[in-house]
Amino acid sequence: MDERITPEQCIFCKIVKKEAAAHVVRDDARTLVFMDLFPAADGHVLVIPKHHAINLLDCEDADLAAIGPLSRRLAKAMRKVFAPDGIGVFQLNGAAAGQTVWHYHLHLIPRRVGEPMHLHGRAQGDPARLASNAARLAEALEDAGKEADPSRPTRSEAQPNEGRNARARAISEREGPAELASPRASRASRSSRGIRRGSGGRSPRPASRSRCALPPGRRARSTPPCRP
Ligand code: 5GP
Ligand code: ZN
């Protein structure tokens, strides 16, 4: 069930290496958190290990051990920023399960009562919205870290501009203008970045087609299900 791609072909490895753009929420030695480019709901984020692993089956124990507590802190930050009714956390393994990018990633998706449940988004997120969500989550995550460690000052105790610095850091980490503005731009940029269909990134689906709730018809990147 695994799809063998090399780290050189992997879009998430390219994001780690800053060869591809992303709206980064947090960057540490072992993990990276960034906004999903095609959010299933406003605030949809991905947590990945920096080390390339296809999915849960080959992800290193130490990476999983780091991702667990980080995802909980991120969920708390998400609750603070978006006040959702719930938070979906999921991770897909293999094409049959709906995995489309062959680098381990954990999805965290704010959920609201009454909204249809989608595992994947249908359209690329608005770049300004993705940037602002990344900055707000980064700041809340930083605060959550301080609350977990009482020796560090919380934001209310800190210098008044500390929050702004966190936001500025998050914004400077993204390559905002380079983040893709339209599906067409996305395709052009992917091609200019040498990312082939099936090599790890994915293209948007038409608005009429739901990427929700697998199956029916949900297929892996290696067999693109539709042409935009
Ligand atoms: P999967 O189907 O493998 O569980 O999820 C892959 C996720 O990665 C999807 O939600 C998709 O929107 C997201 N994604 C695919 N390519 C990119 C990209 O280039 N940048 C970002 N930020 N997200 C991506
Ligand atoms: Zn990778």
Identify the pLDDT of residue 168. 42
Identify the pLDDT of residue 177. 36
**Domain contains 197:** no
> Ligand nearest 222 Cα, by number?
1
Residue 218 to residue 42: CA distance in whole angstroms: 22
Ligand 1 centroid from CA 37, angstroms: 6
Measured at the CA of 73, the angle between CA 213 and CA 106, to 5 degrees, comes to 30
CA-proximal residue: ligand 1, atom 11 (nearest): 38
| Helix (H/G/I), strand (E/B), else coil: 27 | strand
Ligand 1 centroid from CA 157, angstroms: 37
**Domain contains 202:** no
Cβ of 92 below 6 Å from ligand 1 = yes
**Domain contains 147:** yes
**Domain contains 1:** no
**Domain contains 128:** yes
Catalytic residue selected from 23, 44, 103, 105: 105
Identify the pLDDT of residue 143. 85
CA-proximal residue: ligand 1, atom 16 (nearest): 201
Residue 24 to residue 17: CA distance in whole angstroms: 12
Active-site residue, 103 included? no
CATH number reported for the structural domain that contains residue 83 in this entry? 3.30.428.10
**Domain contains 203:** no
Identify the pLDDT of residue 23. 98
Residue 36 to residue 40: CA distance in whole angstroms: 8
**Domain contains 209:** no
Is the pTM higher than 0.75? The answer reads: no
Q: Which atom of ligand 1 is nearest to the CA of 98?
A: 2
The count of structural domains within the chain is 1
Domain span holding position 83: 7-192
The pair of three-digit structure tokens given for residue 41, joined into one six-digit string? 């709901």
Ligand 2 centroid from CA 10, angstroms: 5
Per-residue pLDDT of the chain (228 residues; tens, 9 = 90+): 456 788 889 999 999 999 999 999 999 999 999 999 999 999 999 999 999 999 999 999 999 999 999 999 999 999 999 999 999 999 999 999 999 999 999 999 999 999 988 888 999 999 999 999 999 999 999 987 777 665 665 554 444 444 444 444 444 444 333 333 333 334 444 443 333 333 444 434 333 333 333 444 444 444 333 232
**Domain contains 69:** yes
Identify the pLDDT of residue 141. 95
Identify the pLDDT of residue 196. 37
> Ligand nearest 14 Cα, by number?
2
